[in-house]
Amino acid sequence: MSKKVSRNIFITVCISPAILLFILFMVVPTFEVFRMSLYRWGGLSGSQQFVGLDNFKILWNDMDFIQSFQNTILLIVLVAIITLFFAVFFAAVLTREQLIGNNFFRVVFYIPNILSIVVIAGIFSAIYDPESGLLNSILGIVSLENWQQMWLGNQDIVIYSIAGALVWQAIGYYMVMYMSSMASIPASYYEAASLEGAGKIKQFTAITLPLIWNNIRTTLAFYIISTINLSFLLVTAMTGGGPSGSTEVFLSYMYDQAYGNSTYGYGMAIGVIVFTFSFLLAAIVSRITKRDVLEY
């Protein structure tokens, strides 16, 4: 046996458990989701009826699905933009400026991220409480009574209340990610820039932002995935999709259909859309934000 062949056998043997696990727990289930989306099936019985693309045709006209889709897109866009802005801002301040209690703020910002989403739902339902809630009380103290709202009761704003909670829990995590890449930018760049007379803002846009750009690109994909997942958890725990379906997101709608409405196949069709949508969105975002990677 030549050395090369034996080496190849060794490699194959080594990676086969991982490949097998990957196929068994990732590829097969994903394939199953795609297959089940073509069936009419309640989820328990043996009677699965092949219906082709019928489930997708029904989806096209299902206003509840379209509403949940809109809600999800709105959440992804809002959460990504607002979190990105605040996380980069705080990360820049905490790495570049010598603040008193620097470490304290790092911890404080990161805490929401270690809390379970159910705890966050509890915290925010206390904040949004119409009578004794933090938000309405503060507005009352500063005499802005007419800004007081039924944060979880008014169908026009409840989705923004959800977005608020999601942003709050996400900032710390992304801030830490940006801080780690900002910390590795050599301080000499900033010194040189300030000698040339560049202000803080110029330094940020000309040095910090380009040098952490790759990191930001990666996190954009995270925003998409985590907002899709976390919005489902938060909505389930906090509003139950209500009032009257106005906070339904597509995963909660999928769950509703697959289990609550006994239309498992239809639920899987929604799953296919979610899968394709998040895949495509992540690809598009990654594509349009592509820049030459700057080295230092």
Partner 1 sequence: MKLKHLLFVGFIMILTFGLAACSGEEADGDSEGQGNGDDNSTADEDVTLHVAALESAYGEEMWRNIIEDYEAIKENVSIELTIEKNLEEVIRPQMQAGDYPDVFLLATDREEALTETMIKENGLENITDVLDMTIPGEDVAVKDKLLEGFSDTLATNPYGDGEMYMAPMFYSPSGMFYNAGLFDEQGWEVPETWDDMWELGDQATEQDMSLFTYPIAGYFDTFIGSMLYASGGADFFNSAMTYEEGVWETEEAERVLQTVEQLAEYTHPNTVANANPNDFTKNQQLILDNEALFMPNGAWVVEEMAEAPRSDNFEWGMTSIPAFESGEGERYTFTFFEQMWVPAEAENTEAAKEFIAYMYSDEAADTFLEAGAVQPIEGMTEKMEGQQKEFYSIYDEDVLPAMGTFASTNPVPGVSISDALYGSIDSVVNGEMTYEEWQATVQEASDQLRPEMQ
Site for partner 1, rule CB under 8 A: 10, 13-14, 16-17, 20-21, 24, 40, 42-47, 55, 58-59, 62, 64-65, 121-122, 125, 128-131, 150-155, 236-240, 242-245, 257, 259-263, 265-266
**Residue 118 or residue 293: which is nearer to partner 1 going by CB?**
118
**DSSP conformational letter for 146:** G
How far apart CA 158 and CA 166 sit, in angstroms, is: 13
Amino acid at 132: S
Could you please report the per-residue DSSP string of 114-140? HS-HHHHHHHHHHHT-TTT-HHHHHHH
**Residue 42 or residue 186: which is nearer to partner 1 going by CB?**
42
180: left (phi over 0), alpha (psi -120 to 50) or beta: alpha
Closest CB 14 distance from partner 1, rounded Å: 7
Strands in the chain per DSSP E: 39-40, 49-50
How far apart CA 121 and CA 105 sit, in angstroms, is: 23
How far apart CA 268 and CA 38 sit, in angstroms, is: 8
Closest CB 3 distance from partner 1, rounded Å: 13
Total count of residues recorded for the chain: 296
Closest CB 42 distance from partner 1, rounded Å: 4
**Residue 13 or residue 100: which is nearer to partner 1 going by CB?**
13
Pairing of strands 49-50, 39-40: antiparallel
Cβ-contact 216, 178 below 8 angstroms? yes
**Residue 9 or residue 293: which is nearer to partner 1 going by CB?**
9
**DSSP conformational letter for 25:** I
Closest CB 146 distance from partner 1, rounded Å: 15
Closest CB 58 distance from partner 1, rounded Å: 5
**Residue 207 or residue 245: which is nearer to partner 1 going by CB?**
245
Closest CB 121 distance from partner 1, rounded Å: 6
**Residue 130 or residue 210: which is nearer to partner 1 going by CB?**
130
Cβ-contact 79, 163 below 8 angstroms? yes
Closest CB 222 distance from partner 1, rounded Å: 27
**Residue 128 or residue 173: which is nearer to partner 1 going by CB?**
128
Cβ-contact 108, 126 below 8 angstroms? no
Cβ-contact 73, 84 below 8 angstroms? no
Adjacent-strand bridge partners of 50: 39
Closest CB 119 distance from partner 1, rounded Å: 11
How far apart CA 151 and CA 164 sit, in angstroms, is: 11
**Residue 92 or residue 235: which is nearer to partner 1 going by CB?**
235
Please give the structure tokens belonging to residue 289: 């934000």
